[in-house]
Amino acid sequence: MDFKDFQFHHQVAAGIEAAGYATPTPIQEQAIPSVMEGRDVMGLAQTGTGKTAAFALPILNRLVDGPRGHVRALIIAPTRELAEQIHESIAQLGKKTSVRSLTIYGGVNVNPQIQKLKHGVEIVVACPGRLLDHMSQKTIDLSRLDLLVLDEADQMFDMGFLPDIRRILKQLPAKRQTLLFSATMPPDIRTLANETLTNPVTVQVSNLAPPVTVSHALYPVGQHLKTPLLLKLLEQTDTESVLVFTKTKHRAKRVGEQLEKLGYKAVSLQGNLSQNRRQAALNGFRDGTYQILVATDIAARGIDVSQISHVINYDIPDTPEAYVHRIGRTGRAAKTGDAFTMVTSEDNSMVLAIEKKLGGRLERKTLADFDYTVAAPKKDLEFVRAPREPRGPGKGHKTAKSGGAAGKPAKPAAANPHQSPKPRIAETRSAPKTGFRPGRTGNRSS
Ligand code: AMP
């Protein structure tokens, strides 16, 4: 199948070409014709399948020749990062259409959002909390809405947004097309789909199959040796861009700080960061300023960095679905990626569950030149320092020295780039107006 088969408007087709998409992904192949026909769609697809373009392209196609200046498509997403990514995809694919899109989420000044809404936009990509604020303050007019997308519905549920979603739905025009995308279909999302969609077409892409281009490996290790093993893996592997997952945000912060201290271009995503710093961390990861991002599942939700070469599970995820979701971030499209998972003896049952889901045994690997016999220190069971090298001038910390095999970008930088982080964008935070809750964001926790 070819994108030409959809017979998109030439301005939309130009955007597809500019984005470098050659052939539609399976979710696009299945969903686009139904969306273009005006049908409600329930899409079971995880991040990395091309689901954003599966709804963005038909939306752009619908709006390109239509009336301007009114919100005609609303996309609701669980996190600010995902909202930004959807907005960026729309901007990229709709570059030639002059259709305008705006993101709406909390944690940032509301006034620019109000100004842009007044000025007129056709697409709004919003997180539920701030959207409700705009609705209650009547700073957004959704009376001419044609199309609603609920993206990552299962995450919205996990993050406690369902009551907000229901409140929003009650206030939207009943006559509209609705698309609901979710990686999984827990009962609450099925109920929401039944309530919200009319005679929907269901499209599903092997939602539990990770991208075929990913190779997986398990690294059995004691909990206290995870950090040294992580360093060894980084040292020995040809990595471009690494996403490290930890169980808790506290651990994400500590691992990020440890890597940074050792000279790696690393940053962690955790809930306590301001929106500007979160965005700077994500932008830095996308543009290569940082080559390692350490995050929890929630904090990493929606992160779309198409060039991620490796996912390293510092901690095994809680469910097989979460494993697939994490791994979905590497091996995207035509690229190949590796997934390393550190496992302790306590993880055996989860390993079995993951293997069952994936339908095969995962390879267990050990590193020949890694000392697995080091005993856990009494004081800090989680982090064991690699033996220190003598300190010399300008060499405050031991760096993970390459054995020569892999002089690769994730190696420690000569100078620590984190010491001069990207300048923060000056943002005027006005006093909150009644009704707007600046602290209420699409990103509840990390
Ligand atoms: P998504 O699942 O929407 O997060 O998309 C995952 C990645 O695939 C993004 O980086 C998209 O730019 C990319 N992508 C989407 N559709 C295509 C396509 N047809 N061909 C190549 N890459 C694509």
* Closest residue to atom 14 of ligand 1, CA basis: 50
Does ligand 1 lie within 6 Å of residue 399's CB atom?
no
Task: Determine the atom of ligand 1 nearest the C-alpha atom of 49.
Answer: 2
Does ligand 1 lie within 6 Å of residue 306's CB atom?
yes
**Model pTM?**
0.60
Which of 4, 17, 55, 89 is the best mutation target for the ligand 1 pocket, counting ligand atoms within 8 Å of the beta carbon and taking the most?
A: 89
Does ligand 1 lie within 6 Å of residue 29's CB atom?
no
CA distances from 34 to 37, 185, 199, 231, 260 (A): 5, 20, 12, 48, 48
359 CB-contact burial (10 Å; exposed 0-12 / middle 13-18 / buried 19+): exposed
Task: Determine the atom of ligand 1 nearest the C-alpha atom of 52.
Answer: 3
CA of 51 to the centre of ligand 1 (A): 7
CA of 85 to the centre of ligand 1 (A): 11
Q: All domains of the chain, ordered by start, with CATH?
A: 3-207 (3.40.50.300), 214-358 (3.40.50.300)
End-to-end CA distance of the chain: 39
What is the enclosing helix (H) or strand (E) of 49? none
CA distances from 298 to 155, 159, 303 (A): 9, 9, 10
CA of 1 to the centre of ligand 1 (A): 16
Return d(Cα 98, Cα 101) in angstroms, integer. 9
CA of 78 to the centre of ligand 1 (A): 19
Using 70 as the pLDDT threshold, list the residues of the chain that sit under it. Answer: 206-214, 271-272, 301-307, 329-337, 378-446
Does ligand 1 lie within 6 Å of residue 92's CB atom?
no
pLDDT computed for residue 418 by the predictor: 35
SS3 label, residue 261: helix
CA of 13 to the centre of ligand 1 (A): 15
CA of 285 to the centre of ligand 1 (A): 18
Q: Amino acid identity, residue 138? A: K
Does ligand 1 lie within 6 Å of residue 52's CB atom?
yes
Task: Determine the atom of ligand 1 nearest the C-alpha atom of 25.
Answer: 19
Q: Amino acid identity, residue 166? A: R
Tell me: the pLDDT tens digits for 143-177?
Answer: 999 999 999 998 888 888 999 999 999 999 999 99
Q: Spell 258-296 as b/e; 16+ CB within 10 A means b.
A: bbbbbbbbbbbbbeebebbbbbbbbebbbeebbbbbbbb
Q: Amino acid identity, residue 404? A: G
Q: Spell 13-43 as b/e; 16+ CB within 10 A means b.
A: bbbbeeeebeebbbbbbbbbebbbeebbbbb
Using alpha carbons only, how large is the chain's radius of gyration in Å?
Answer: 23
Tell me: the pLDDT tens digits for 206-228?
Answer: 644 455 566 889 999 999 999 99
* Closest residue to atom 10 of ligand 1, CA basis: 306
Nearest to 237 by CA among 220, 219, 253: 219
pLDDT computed for residue 286 by the predictor: 82
pLDDT computed for residue 410 by the predictor: 52
Residues in a beta bridge with 214: 337
Q: Looking at beta carbons, which pairs linking 249-255 to residues 24 or more positions away fall under 8 Å?
A: 249/296, 249/299, 249/445, 249/446, 251/314, 251/315, 251/382, 252/294, 252/295, 252/296, 252/299, 252/446, 253/294, 254/382, 254/383, 255/227, 255/230, 255/294, 255/314
pLDDT computed for residue 402 by the predictor: 33
